Structure 1
Amino acid sequence: MENNGSDEFGGADVNDVVALMDIIKQIPDADSDNIAMMGRSRGSMQSYLAVKRLPNIKTLIAVAGVSDAHQALIERPNMEKVYKKRIPDYEVNIQQELDKRSVTKWAHELPSNMPIFLIHGEKDRRVNVGHSIRLATVLKILEHPHKLLVYPDDNHSLTQHRRRMMSEVVSWLDSYLRNP
């Protein structure tokens, strides 16, 4: 797969994530048939994009993830500098490019048998908790398996609940990888 060597904020750089599947197959002790994906913040957006192309992923965990790039821009107008710098054709095709990076617009394209665990801090100032709440609503409408966990009074890095979050993640992975 080709990548132009640039960060396209959810463009061709997602090819790097997808290419990891071939690398995993080369690792002797890795079970390439039993893979989970976890993304944090903008990494969640890239994970959503990657799993559309990787139907064998067993589960996805999204921590403080952006689910709607349009809404993210409204909430943080300074993100437009990032979008202009990194997203090819952004200024020519704003609507289309942000739609591509907004899972709430195309959640129906996610593998239907892949449970999604959404984790967010209620007081996140970088990515508003509403992103995870709105995506959970969309997933519920689609009857897509998911769980939403919001930590009260916590921030983007989940500094107050980090250990608890990791325990929840391990439990989730045990459910979907070790005991499918």
Structure 2
Amino acid sequence: MLAPDLTFFQLADLAAEGYVITASQYRGTAGAAGHDEFGGEDVADVLSLLEVLPDMASVDGSRIGMIGHSRGGMMTYLALTRTNRIRAAVVLAGPTDLAAGLNTRPEMMQVYSQAFSHNGGELQAALESRSAVNLVARFPRSTPILIVHGTADWRVSPTDSLKIAELLLGEQIPFRLVMLEGGDHGLSEYELEVQSMIRDWFGRYLATGAELPNMAPHGP
């Protein structure tokens, strides 16, 4: 159900640069089979793409990048806990602390209750298991992450990206955090700038022989 919105044009922009673009769909969408678990077993749908891509004649299976916006950003973080085959990742306005997010958007509780079919302590455990702030230690050190968030985002608090950035720094995982002043959830005020950042990130870290930055304290 990919509409011609900003996300669509970002993917089209990458395709125009020569990248092969694939994407999974949420379970249950438009009558499809399954139940959307909001980051549960459906993470396997994302990871299954890693098995499909190498069989495509036009794909270099050793140079795979992943990009996710909002919920897709959460799925990107979760995928990173299960594989080290992603060479570079981009997360746009991705939620990292689902429980804390309920303080500003309590209506999301209904979404979570339907997705998890849990309540009480089980629901809390489900939220914690899907929150990237609790999972950073499981991220591969070999996957640099570009994180972009608008400071005027009301759907996902900008503090979610600030929180995970601090944790990534502590784990010495390569990342770049860009907070776009006054940007909304869709980063619509910065369309061309975001596209340029995505192209540059993948161009740098998916290149043959790309080197990771030295994350240890150094310099004069």
Q: Which TM-score band (shorter chain)? A: over 0.9
Please tell me whether residue 167 in structure 1 is matched to residue 196 in structure 2.
Answer: yes
Maintained 8 Å contact 1:83/1:90: no
Letter in 1 for 2:44: N
Does structure 1 retain, via aligned residues, the 8 Å contact 2:116–2:123?
Answer: no
Which residue number in structure 2 is paired with residue 56 of structure 1? 85
- How far the C-alpha of 1:53 sits from its partner, in A, is 1.5
RMSD: 1.4
For the pair 1:39 / 2:39, whether they are aligned, the reply is no
Percent sequence identity over aligned pairs: 31
CA displacement, residues 117-160 of structure 1 (integer Å, 9 cap, x when unaligned): 10000100100111111110111111111100011011001111
SS in 2 for 1:20: helix
Structure number with greater Rg is 2
1:66 to partner: Cα distance: 0.2
Q: Please state whether the residue corresponding to 1:15 is helix, strand or coil.
A: helix
TM-score, L = length of structure 2:
0.78
In structure 1, the partner of 2:48 is 19
2:130 corresponds in structure 1 to: 101
In structure 1, distance between residues paired with 2:183 and 2:74: 21
Matched residue of 2:94: which SS? Answer: coil
Normalised TM-score (structure 1): 0.94
Matched, 1:141 2:176: no
Say if 2:81 and 2:135, in contact at 8 Å, map to a contact too. Answer: no
**Structure 2 counterpart of 1:124, from 153, 163, 166:** 153
Structure 1 segments (4+ residues) deviating >2 Å: 88-92
Number of residue pairs matched by the alignment: 178
Deviates more, 1:123-132 or 1:46-55: 46-55
Query: Does the aligned pair in 1 maintain the 2:78–2:130 contact within 8 Å?
Result: yes
